């Protein structure tokens, strides 16, 4: 059995996740934690589980505070409605990052990813978890954006590019441009680098939306749904860009 802990301060969300995890007979939920204080106490006094599902924003702080106080050897799958914590989450034993509302297929993918890290004897006591996680880079699959007082989930495969303008990073889709809470540097760390490439200081583009590439006198890219007529590839990025196109 896979010993599992849920950290979630909203009871309906906790119950829903527990029901969803009931579809995985190999998972045994050994504790449900609702606060940072409770989490520090529990992880200080109990054997750590192999797998942790953790919301990030709790009533008395961020769940990151738990694992900074009590480092764990367990793998963490973060579940949250806030995407601005993605980069930090990936630095704390995180193997996946699920934006709420959690989809069945995303949860299944996260559990399968966890299983890929576990050896046949189903133990992780002697593993260097951070080293294992580095071998399989976690990538961002959805972005949460604000539209007035509303929130909208956008799948990364719908995004043609991210670009910086007036110190704000925007993402471009077929229907419109949306502001995000990321920096381009953060996005480079969490996007699928087989699909996305940073062509210059201002733009990260998606290979799925490249319409044309001009090679003279500079490398210039035309994208579908792009905010500019052409996007110029920095000279020092041209070789890497060409390698990326055929990788």
- Lowest mean pLDDT segment, chosen from 93-97, 125-129, 235-239: 125-129
Residue 125's pLDDT is what? 43
pLDDT at 230: 92
Beta-strand relationship, 75-80 and 51-54 = parallel
pLDDT in tens, 60-118: 999 999 998 999 888 999 998 766 666 566 656 678 888 888 999 999 999 998 988 87
Residues 6+ positions from 240 with CB-CB distance below 8 Å: 197
Q: Which CATH superfamily is 142-245 part of?
A: LytTr DNA-binding domain (2.40.50.1020)
* Domain residue limits, the chain: 2-135, 142-245
Look at 186 and 43; give whichever has higher pLDDT. 43
Q: What pLDDT sits at residue 73?
A: 82
Query: Residues 155-190: pLDDT tens digits?
Result: 999 999 999 999 999 999 999 999 998 889 889 888
* CATH H-level superfamily of 2-135: Response regulator (3.40.50.2300)
Q: Name the pTM for this structure.
A: 0.61
Residue 144 has pLDDT above 70, yes or no: yes
On average, the pLDDT of the chain sits at 87
Of 40 and 85, the one with more pLDDT: 40
């Amino acid at each position: 059995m896979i010993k599992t802990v849920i950290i979630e301060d909203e009871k309906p969300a906790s119950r829903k996740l527990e029901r969803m995890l009931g579809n995985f007979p190999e998972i045994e939920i050994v504790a449900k934690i609702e606060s940072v204080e409770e989490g520090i106490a529990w992880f200080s006094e109990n054997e750590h589980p192999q797998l942790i599902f953790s919301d990030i924003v709790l009533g008395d702080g961020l769940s990151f505070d738990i694992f900074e106080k009590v480092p764990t050897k367990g793998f963490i799958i973060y579940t949250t409605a806030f995407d601005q914590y993605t980069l930090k989450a990936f630095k704390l034993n995180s193997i996946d990052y699920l934006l709420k509302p959690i989809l069945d297929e995303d949860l299944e993918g996260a559990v399968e990813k966890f299983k890929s890290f576990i050896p046949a004897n189903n133990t992780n006591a002697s593993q260097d978890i951070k080293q294992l996680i580095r071998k399989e880079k976690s990538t961002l699959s959805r972005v949460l954006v604000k539209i007035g007082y509303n929130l909208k989930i956008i799948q990364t495969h719908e995004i043609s590019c991210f670009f910086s303008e007036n110190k704000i990073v925007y993402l471009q889709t077929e229907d419109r441009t949306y502001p995000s809470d990321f920096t381009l540097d953060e996005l480079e760390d969490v996007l699928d680098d087989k699909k996305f490439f940073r062509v210059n200081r201002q733009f990260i583009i998606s290979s799925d939306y490249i319409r044309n590439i001009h090679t003279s006198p500079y490398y210039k890219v035309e994208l579908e749904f792009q905010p500019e007529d052409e996007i110029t590839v920095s000279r020092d990025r041209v070789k890497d860009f060409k390698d990326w196109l055929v990788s």
